[in-house]
């Protein structure tokens, strides 16, 4: 899904599934994509927020807490940093960023999703 328009179309097709689960995490390659996913899901009446380095630390912490408590149903976050983010449990994970190899994807998953 290297082409951005196809990624967003795929998310649009997944809206019914995203709506059924309690919490979802969408990992993207870019902040802009995460923000577009946030808009798309909120337009579909699914509470979503893009969490990235574009936000202040307190804002990120606030939104992570909102996700933990269920007030926010979807977190969209870029995974380009390779540092990872600690997130509360999610029922559905969608990875939209391209990786050069299967091994790199597995390594990135381990960094992005920390139990």
Q: What is the CATH number of the domain that holds 9?
A: 3.40.50.300
Predicted confidence (pLDDT) per residue in 82-113, tens digit: 455 566 678 888 888 665 555 655 555 555 44
Q: Are 11 and 40 in contact (CB under 8 A)?
A: yes
Residues contacting residue 22 through CB under 8 Å, at least 6 positions apart: 70, 73, 91
Predicted confidence (pLDDT) per residue in 36-86, tens digit: 999 999 999 999 999 988 899 899 889 989 999 999 999 998 864 445 556
Tally of domains within the chain: 1
Residue 99: domain span: 4-114
């Amino acid at each position: 899904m290297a082409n951005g328009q196809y990624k967003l179309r795929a998310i649009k097709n997944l809206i019914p599934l995203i709506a059924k689960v309690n919490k979802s995490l969408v990992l993207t390659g870019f902040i802009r994509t995460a923000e577009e996913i946030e808009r798309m899901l909120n337009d579909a009446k699914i509470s979503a927020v893009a969490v990235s380095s574009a936000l202040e630390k307190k804002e990120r912490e606030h939104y992570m807490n909102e996700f933990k408590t269920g007030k926010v149903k979807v977190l969209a976050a870029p995974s380009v940093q390779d540092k990872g983010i600690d997130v509360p449990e999610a029922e559905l994970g969608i990875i939209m960023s391209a990786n050069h190899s299967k091994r790199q994807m597995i390594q990135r998953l381990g960094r992005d999703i920390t139990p």
